[in-house]
């Protein structure tokens, strides 16, 4: 077994340099407990909880189940998910509950940095391109998570791939960084570390975890899908999202093509998060924007998260062995 030693594993005491990123409606206490027990770190999604007391209860449940192992809370700062006037209160709640690390996303965290530092929170800020990571470093975040165009959810407008992001981040950043977007195999973890990353962040690959509180038919649909079964929509309103291709994505794409002045109000009846949430409960994946990335090509069965992580670790070890045994050859000086 490899003993991983990166800024990420050292800072949080992780067995592997992997983050289980926040997932709207899905990243709950069971998700982060499964991550902790697998030797990685997961994030509860704050925006899944409309009431502060519900979020407090979920954090308490995670704290008990993680039994001292680290977990965090994801805070989307998009106004439509977390109203601006509540964001600071959510940060305070998280700190009051003894959580030490947050995953932020959605917009520049600079206005909140004095408060976050005062609360003693470690900030992992998620961005879709290196140029935003450079800005996040400048305003004082601790770690940046860079998700490429292959990711499920929001890849941004630049659509830069993870491989290029990783190389550019290794060149341009001084703080630790993570690479995400299409990550679901141990060889990608090794590649990311080789390019200077401190670890990787995964989302889609973990959607088929046994512990994820979603209908089994939803998970099976992801297993049956391939890397070709996603679509990009909502670029027309500068909110590009990659999701599982279905009836809704076709309707949204058609509306965007046929109505040049389309607004978010026009799209909302089709893309409301509540519609997607129903799919997680019923297993019917024909409707709603269901975030999924290119690592669908690596999801081959529903299994416990610990087994997924063990496979990734074994794949990483095999990749390192290939490098040591076949790639490098010592020659006389």
Domains defined along the chain, listed by start: 7-213 (3.20.20.70)
Provide, rounded to the nearest whole percent, the portion of the chain with pLDDT above 90: 85
Q: In Å, how far from its chain's centre is CA 306?
A: 18
Q: What is the pLDDT of residue 77?
A: 83
- Asked if residue 141 has pLDDT above 90, the reply is yes
Confidence of residue 7 (pLDDT cuts 50, 70, 90): very high
Q: What is the pLDDT of residue 273?
A: 80
Q: What is the pLDDT of residue 326?
A: 66
Q: What is the pLDDT of residue 332?
A: 61
Q: Which letter does DSSP use for residue 275 in this model?
A: H
Segment among 75-89, 149-163, 203-217, 290-304 with least mean pLDDT: 75-89
Confidence of residue 260 (pLDDT cuts 50, 70, 90): confident
- Asked if residue 189 has pLDDT above 60, the reply is yes
> pLDDT tens across 207-222, in order?
999 999 999 999 999 9
Q: What is the mean pLDDT of the chain?
A: 94
Q: What is the pLDDT of residue 63?
A: 97
Distance CA 116, CA 91 (A): 7
Q: What is the pLDDT of residue 331?
A: 57
76 three-class SS: strand
- Asked if residue 85 has pLDDT above 70, the reply is no
Q: What is the pLDDT of residue 84?
A: 53
- Stretch 154-162: mean pLDDT: 94
> pLDDT tens across 315-324, in order?
999 999 998 8
**Structural tokens at position 160:** 């830069």
């Amino acid at each position: 077994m490899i003993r991983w030693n990166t800024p990420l594993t050292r800072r949080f005491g992780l067995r592997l340099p992997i983050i289980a990123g926040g997932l709207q409606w899905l990243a709950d206490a069971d998700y982060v407990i499964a991550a902790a027990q697998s030797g990685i770190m997961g994030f509860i999604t704050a925006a899944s909880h409309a009431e502060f007391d519900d979020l407090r209860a979920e954090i308490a449940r995670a704290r008990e189940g993680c039994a001292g192992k680290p977990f965090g809370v994801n805070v989307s700062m998009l106004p439509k998910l977390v109203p601006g006037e509540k964001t600071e209160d959510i940060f305070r709640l998280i700190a009051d509950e003894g959580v030490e690390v947050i995953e932020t996303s959605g917009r520049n965290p600079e206005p909140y940095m004095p408060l976050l530092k005062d609360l003693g929170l470690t900030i992992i800020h998620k961005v879709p391109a290196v140029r935003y990571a450079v800005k996040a470093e400048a305003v004082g975040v601790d770690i940046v998570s860079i998700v490429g165009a292959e990711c499920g959810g929001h890849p941004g407008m630049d659509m830069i791939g993870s491989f290029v992001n990783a190389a550019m981040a290794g060149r341009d950043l001084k703080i630790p960084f993570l690479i995400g977007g299409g990550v679901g195999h141990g060889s990608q973890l090794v590649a990311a570390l080789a390019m200077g990353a401190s670890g990787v962040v995964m989302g889609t690959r973990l959607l088929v975890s046994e512990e994820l509180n979603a209908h089994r038919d939803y998970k099976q649909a992801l297993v049956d899908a391939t890397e070709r079964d996603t679509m990009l929509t909502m670029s027309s309103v500068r909110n590009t999202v990659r999701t599982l291709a279905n009836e809704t994505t076709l309707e949204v794409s058609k509306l965007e093509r046929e109505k040049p002045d389309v607004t978010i109000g026009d799209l909302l009846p089709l893309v409301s998060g509540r519609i997607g949430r129903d799919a997680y409960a019923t297993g019917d994946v024909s409707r709603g924007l269901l975030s999924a990335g290119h690592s669908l090509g690596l999801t081959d069965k529903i299994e416990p998260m610990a087994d997924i992580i063990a496979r990734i670790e074994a794949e990483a070890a095999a990749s390192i062995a290939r490098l040591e045994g076949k790639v490098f050859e010592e020659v006389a000086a």
